[in-house]
Structure 1
Amino acid sequence: MDTQLLNAFVEVADHASFTRAADSLHLSQPAISKRVTTLEQQIGAPLFDRIGRQITLTDAGRALLPYARKTLQDIEDARRALSQLTTQVSGRLSIGTSHHIGLHRLPPVLREFTERYPDVDLDLHFMDSEIACEAVLSGRLELGIVTLPLAPIPNLDTCAVWHDPLAVVAAPTHPLARLRRPQLGDLAAHPAVLPDAATYTHRIVRQALQHLGLEPRVRLATNYLETLKMLAGIGLGWSVLPLSMVDATLKVIHIPGLRMQRSLGSARHRHRAVSRAAQALLDLLPTAP
């Protein structure tokens, strides 16, 4: 079986959508559909039930999926291992990173990397850090440059690169910004706009607040820190953002005893070979102070 056909099948199965699978592989939807149809013809059985817009695996699809994953991962592991036998840094490097890190931390690293290693096909995916870590563990990505998880995850090796202090912020016109000595109770009196509950950043914030006995009143949650910055800047609520994002649209609200920080860094699978391209990128990352 052609690995391109298997890859298309796995992506459709993972996304439960031909459209999202096409976006993930940077192909058109007809191209994805054709690959899946060709694979179905080769094995002599349908792999998906297509009822309206809903896509579900058939019995044949469920039987094939683990073998397809293993085949693709074995090939990828072989490619990475073989890359260690040459001094040339080339081939494909699949990376997942968050929008915040991709916008604010990675550009100088990626600029130097692409200048030094023009033969590397950089496959960059923007996604939540939690999803990137899962993709590294499943073998879909070789590296994650992410907000690091609060607790160790089996088979995931992480390395801190940037310490990222967090601050309570609000619009300069917000009632909290007018207080001379705001206290924890003042936060409770106003709604918050915070990172989504599924994110590592939200867990860091909630743990710090709960440690001091505060359960925030969340008006709105989103995965995108840039969106939270805008919402806080227009006065919709107070928020918690990286200190590096604070500008004239926001004021830092200093709360006695409240200190928050997250770690940003790399994540890779502990038991899989590291390609020369991946190692070259890791070597370019700064060392955490």
Structure 2
Amino acid sequence: MNTMQLECFLAVADNLSFARAAEQLHVTQPAITHQINSLENELQAKLVRRTTRIVELTPDGRTFLGYAKNILKATHFAKKRLSEHHQDYIQTFSIGCHSPSELNLISPVLKQLYQTFPTLHPDLRMIPFPALRNMVEEEAIDVMIGFRDEKINLASVTYVELAQCGITCALSKEHPLADRKQLTLKDLNEEPIVLCEPDRCAEAIAQLQGHLLASHSHSPSQIYFGENLECTLTLTKAGIGLALLPNLPFMHQEGLTYVPLENESIISFGLYHKTSFNSPILKTFIQILKKLCQPF
């Protein structure tokens, strides 16, 4: 499929005449016929019904009409961007994260960024953490939101801390421990627990989960697993067990109670960015994020 085929089809659809379509596009009428026929052969569908008296679109032709218009619009826009010096008026900014919770945090930041940079074009990517780690090390993205990871090579990236927090336990509101002011590891050993996949949580959480998995006094049937934080909290809301997560308000979900865990672990939350990337957008992005993270 090419743009000439689409332009011929749209011209015929607009004029319902092969002759007028040829005049509009400054080509011969046989050329219009050839392009329509080749398009129909490629799509394996009859788009135009033509008799000696009338030209009309078939049901398939009417359906394809909207697609053809959208494809041509996208193609023309892409050509315009590539032919002009679009870097002067479009500022791309790629942001990686590994959970919907982080996307929720980014949303108000982008809203404020647009007030200063109206030509901003964010490129958001939600990717599993191991792949995200590789992308930031290889400078394939501008910024990565997440927890400090000692495995990341800081030779080419810079870490900016936005907040420090402890660990909290998420429980259903009906849980017997929901009214406690604080919980201990002993309390957790006596309760069913929902563990998040290690690659999807902060390192301190993963280590603590490993400790609980090794020392849990109950049977394996009382230990549950969630693929990510959202799955883990969904099981927790169902009252299946309690879960551990960083005590960051943007990660909290409605319908749950959060009780701090008596633990000395401190989790660092922040962002990684390419050391070579030092644009005004990045500086403003960091400033806004820090303000949003201050209450943490």
Tell me whether the two structures share a fold, i.e. TM-score over 0.5. yes
Hey, what does 1:135 align to over in structure 2?
A: 135
Hey, what does 1:146 align to over in structure 2?
A: 146
> Size of the alignment, in residue pairs?
199
Hey, what does 1:222 align to over in structure 2?
A: 227
Matched, 1:186 2:190: no
Unaligned runs of 5+ in 2: 1-86
Amino acid at match of 2:231: T
Counterparts of 1:266-277 in structure 2 under 5 Å?
266-270=271-275, 272-277=276-281
Greater shift, 122-131 or 207-216, is seen at 207-216
Hey, what does 1:92 align to over in structure 2?
A: 92
Q: Aligned partners of 2:181 and 2:149: how far apart in 1?
A: 35
Amino acid at match of 1:277: I
Contact 1:194–1:228 (8 Å) recurs in 2: yes
Cα deviation for residue 135 of structure 1 reads 0.9
Q: Any idea what SS the aligned residue of 2:102 has?
A: helix
Cα deviation for residue 183 of structure 1 reads 4.5
Contact 1:150–1:200 (8 Å) recurs in 2: no
Q: Any idea what SS the aligned residue of 1:141 has?
A: coil
Hey, what does 1:285 align to over in structure 2?
A: 289
Contact 1:190–1:238 (8 Å) recurs in 2: yes
Cα deviation for residue 129 of structure 1 reads 4.2
Counterparts of 1:244-263 in structure 2 under 5 Å?
244=249, 245-246=251-252, 249-253=255-259, 255=261, 257-263=262-268
Q: Aligned partners of 2:258 and 2:281: how far apart in 1?
A: 40
Counterparts of 1:1-289 in structure 2 under 5 Å?
90-98=90-98, 99-103=100-104, 105-150=105-150, 153-155=153-155, 156-177=157-178, 183-201=184-202, 203-208=203-208, 215=215, 218-223=223-228, 225-243=229-247, 244=249, 245-246=251-252, 249-253=255-259, 255=261, 257-270=262-275, 272-286=276-290
Amino acid at match of 2:258: V
Q: Any idea what SS the aligned residue of 2:290 has?
A: coil
Cα deviation for residue 94 of structure 1 reads 1.2
Contact 1:150–1:204 (8 Å) recurs in 2: no
Amino acid at match of 1:134: N
Cα deviation for residue 238 of structure 1 reads 0.9
The two structures, once aligned, show a CA RMSD in angstroms of: 3.5
Q: Aligned partners of 2:235 and 2:163: how far apart in 1?
A: 26
C-alpha offsets along residues 166-199 of structure 1, whole Å, 9 cap, x if unaligned? 3012223334447898643331233321221123
Contact 2:142–2:277 (8 Å) recurs in 1: no
C-alpha change, 1:283 and 1:180, in structure 2 (3 Å) is closer
Contact 1:147–1:262 (8 Å) recurs in 2: yes
Q: Sequence identity of aligned pairs in percent?
A: 19
Contact 1:182–1:254 (8 Å) recurs in 2: yes
Q: Please give the TM-score of this superposition, normalised by the length of structure 2.
A: 0.55
Contact 2:133–2:152 (8 Å) recurs in 1: no
Q: Aligned partners of 2:258 and 2:211: how far apart in 1?
A: 20
Contact 1:168–1:239 (8 Å) recurs in 2: yes
Cα deviation for residue 235 of structure 1 reads 0.9
